[in-house]
Amino acid sequence: MRANVVRRGVVWSALVLLGVSPLFGEARVTLRVRSPEQGEGKPRLVFSASEILDLEFEALLSGSRNTAHHQVQFKIYTPAGHLYQVLTSDLSPAPSTRARSPRREQSHRQVSARLPVAGTSIVTSSLYGKWTVVAHLDGEGKPASVPRGFTITQ
C-alpha cells in the first residue's frame, strides 16, 4: 500500500518537473516558453531583454476535452508574484474524429500568444528575475497546467 502511494507521488512529481499537468481525464496543457529571436534550437528558460523583442508562450492541449472549442488564458506573473498580464488565445475545435482510431483521438492541439518585452515596463522598470506563466482553460480558476518558470535578465 505504502509503495503505491510513493510511486504515485514520484510519478506526480516527475510530471510536474516536466511541465505536464497531471489532470487525467480532463484537458491537459503543457507549456513552452521561447523567443522567436533565439531560433528553434534547444529550449531555453533564460532570456536577455537586450537580445529579444518578445516571448512566445505555447500551450499544447491534450486529453478527453481536446476536441472542443477552448479559450486559453496565459497568466503571467512577475518575479514578485504579482499578476503582470493575461494573454488570451482561442483554440478552435479539432476536426471530427469519427474516421480516426481511438489512439488518434488523443491528438494534441497547440495555441500560442506573445508577450512584448522590448520597450515595455519589463525593461523600463527593471522587472528582471524569475517569472511564471500558468495556463487556464475557459476562464476556470483551476490551472490547466503546472506553473512554468522562466527568467528575464538585463
Is the model's pLDDT at 101 over the cut of 50?
no
Highest mean pLDDT of the ranges 58-62, 78-82, 94-98: 78-82
Calpha distance 99→24 (Å, rounded): 24
Contact 39, 11 (CB under 8 A): no
pTM over 0.75: no
Calpha distance 152→31 (Å, rounded): 17
Domains with residue ranges and CATH for the chain:
2-153 (2.60.40.1930)
Is the model's pLDDT at 16 over the cut of 90?
no
Average pLDDT over residues 132-146: 93
Sole residue written with cell 512577475: 78
39-62 pLDDT tens trace: 777 778 999 999 999 999 999 987
Using a pLDDT cut of 70, give the percent of the chain over it.
68
Calpha distance 38→55 (Å, rounded): 10
Calpha distance 91→111 (Å, rounded): 6
Calpha distance 126→3 (Å, rounded): 48
Is the model's pLDDT at 63 over the cut of 50?
yes
β-bridge mates for residue 153, sequence order: 48
Is the model's pLDDT at 30 over the cut of 50?
yes
pLDDT value at residue 108? 73
